[in-house]
Structure 1
Amino acid sequence: MTEVRLQPEPTFEAPVKIHVPGKGELEMNWTFRYRNAEEVLKFQRKWTGGEGSRKKTDDFDSIGYIMDMAAGWELTEEFNKKNVETFFRNYPTSATKVVSTYFEELAGARRKN
Structure 2
Amino acid sequence: MAAKFKIEQNPTFEAKVGIHRAGGEKIEVGMTFKYRTRTEAAELSEKWKQRGEDLAKEFEGKEADLPALVSAQIRLEVERILDVVEAWEFEDPVSEESVRLLLNGGKPIHDAITKAYFDGLDPARLGN
Q: TM-score range by the shorter chain?
A: 0.7 to 0.9
**Structure 2, unaligned runs of 5 or more:** 57-71
More helix, by proportion: 2
Shift of 1:93: 1.8
1:84 matched to which residue of 2?
99
Q: Structure 1: state its 5+ residue gaps.
A: none
State the alpha-carbon separation in 1 of the partners of residues 89 and 39 from structure 2. 29
TM-score by length of 1: 0.81
Map 1:7-86 onto structure 2 (within 5 A): 7-22=8-23, 24-49=25-50, 56-58=54-56, 59=72, 61-86=76-101
Aligned length: 109
> Residues 12 and 73 of structure 1: is their aligned pair in 2 closer, same or farther, counting only changes over 3 Å?
same
Which structure's CA Rg is the greater one?
2
**Alignment RMSD (CA, Å):** 2.6
Identical aligned pairs, as a percentage?
23
TM-score (norm: length of structure 2): 0.72
